[in-house]
């Protein structure tokens, strides 16, 4: 094993240890604090006494929220890394093809029509998938290059659904529906339940697993169209797989928690600095780092003030200065 491989392995172990520490801290911290002894007892690891209500707090409220933060953070980060490799552009984020904007429109429409929470999530998910499908179909009929056509189609579709969301907010009831739409678009994990985690699991597995299995081929996409084809890669099919998987991850995440920006843009950059640009390391590292990052941000969202700060606001406060620092220092180019 080379020294470089050993160094990357050590960094991954440190990241995994940090993630596990955040998991334990997130389970114990909150308005209703749990001691380490109580947590161990609730998990069946000891016979320590447990206060009344502690079980409901952990299993009905805290663990579903923790699980959602982990899945969504990993999903957005992996989707962002995959899109950046496919488009060969480090400025690309998971909403490049309009999935997030369309999911936001779907949720706003669901709220306007009086749907329940699950119906809102389902509507958002369907619109997120539909927007990317529309962008892909438009790009297939365009005369420009395939990559450029896809990006431009995504911009057009995103603009249309953004206008649709504005119209829904215009006609929504100002007393109940408009505040609900506005709060949902800010992004939050406060209302997550067990069924939302189950809703996330299928698109998460279907989206992330193929990306992990094909991550070495994403390396070939970063070489360019002609180089990848000369190595025997069907670039059209591979791009389609990456788009479908990244869209599943993005649409499902936005459908459950609302609009959470910067995660899929910042985390892959930080992982390139720590693990290099090889997607065999970068994709799993981005997923793990993203899970830890969103878990930490969600802990701050629910603990920093007496109320709860929408998580989308916090990711912007953290992500924008961090991205500015990366731009000024050229951090993303020091990957290897």
| Domains, the chain, with CATH or none | 3-333 (1.10.3470.10)
Half-sphere exposure of 327 (CA within 13 A, CB side): 8
User: What whole-number distance in Å separates Cα of residue 200 and Cα of residue 9?
Assistant: 29
Res 332: pLDDT: 46
Q: How far, rounded to the nearest angstrom, does the alpha carbon of residue 312 sit from its chain's CA centroid?
A: 11
166 pLDDT higher than 50: yes
Q: What is the pLDDT of residues 255-281, one digit of tens each?
A: 999 889 889 999 999 999 899 889 999
Res 330: pLDDT: 64
Res 331: pLDDT: 55
Q: Which of 17-31, 44-58, 98-112, 287-301 has the lowest mean pLDDT?
A: 44-58
Average pLDDT on 18-39 reads 93
Contact 88, 222 (CB under 8 A): yes
Percentage of residues in the chain with pLDDT exceeding 70?
96
Contact 87, 68 (CB under 8 A): no
Res 1: pLDDT: 52
User: What whole-number distance in Å separates Cα of residue 113 and Cα of residue 99?
Assistant: 21
Q: Which of 34-48, 148-162, 319-333 has the lowest mean pLDDT?
A: 319-333
Other residues' Cβ atoms within 10 Å of the Cβ of residue 52: 6
CB-based contacts of 149-157 (< 8 A; 24+ apart in sequence): 150/97, 150/243, 151/87, 151/96, 153/97, 154/96, 154/97, 154/98, 155/98, 157/97, 157/98, 157/101, 157/102, 157/131, 157/132
Contact 293, 287 (CB under 8 A): no
Res 335: pLDDT: 44
| pLDDT level of residue 44 (50, 70, 90 thresholds) | confident
Q: What is the pLDDT of residues 297-316, one digit of tens each?
A: 999 999 988 778 899 899 98
Look up residue 41 and give its two tokens. Answer: 């007892």
- Torsion of Cα atoms, 133 then 134 then 137 then 141, to 10°: -160
225 pLDDT higher than 80: no
Average pLDDT on 151-161 reads 92
52 pLDDT higher than 80: yes
């Amino acid at each position: 094993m080379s020294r470089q491989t050993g160094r990357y392995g050590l960094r991954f172990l440190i990241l995994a240890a940090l993630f596990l520490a955040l998991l334990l801290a997130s389970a114990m911290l909150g308005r209703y604090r749990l001691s380490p002894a109580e947590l161990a007892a609730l998990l069946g690891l000891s016979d320590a006494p447990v206060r009344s209500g502690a079980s409901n707090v952990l299993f009905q409220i805290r663990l579903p929220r923790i699980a959602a933060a982990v899945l969504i953070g990993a999903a957005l980060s992996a989707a962002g890394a995959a899109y950046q490799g496919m488009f060969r552009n480090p400025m690309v984020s998971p909403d490049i093809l309009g999935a997030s904007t369309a999911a936001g429109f779907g949720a706003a429409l669901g709220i306007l029509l009086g749907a329940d929470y699950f119906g809102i999530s389902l509507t958002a998910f369907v619109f997120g998938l539909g927007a990317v499908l529309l962008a892909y179909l438009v790009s297939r009929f365009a005369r420009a290059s395939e990559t450029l056509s896809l990006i431009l189609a995504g911009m057009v579709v995103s603009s249309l659904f953004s206008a649709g969301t504005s119209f829904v907010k215009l006609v929504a009831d100002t007393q109940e529906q408009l505040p609900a739409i506005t709060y949902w678009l800010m992004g939050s994990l406060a209302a997550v339940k067990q069924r939302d985690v189950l809703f996330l699991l299928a698109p998460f597995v279907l989206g992330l697993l193929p990306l992990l299995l094909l991550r070495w081929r994403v390396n070939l996409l970063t070489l360019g169209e002609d180089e990848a084809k000369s190595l025997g890669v069907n670039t059209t099919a591979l791009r389609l797989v990456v788009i479908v998987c990244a869209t599943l991850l993005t649409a499902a995440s936005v459908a459950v928690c609302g609009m959470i920006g910067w995660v899929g843009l910042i985390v892959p950059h930080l992982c390139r600095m720590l693990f290099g640009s090889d997607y065999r390391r970068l994709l799993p590292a981005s997923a793990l780092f993203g899970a830890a990052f969103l878990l930490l941000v969600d802990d701050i969202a629910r603990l920093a003030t007496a109320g709860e700060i929408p998580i989308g606001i916090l990711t912007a406060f953290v992500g924008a200065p961090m991205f500015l620092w990366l731009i000024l220092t050229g951090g993303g180019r020091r990957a290897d």
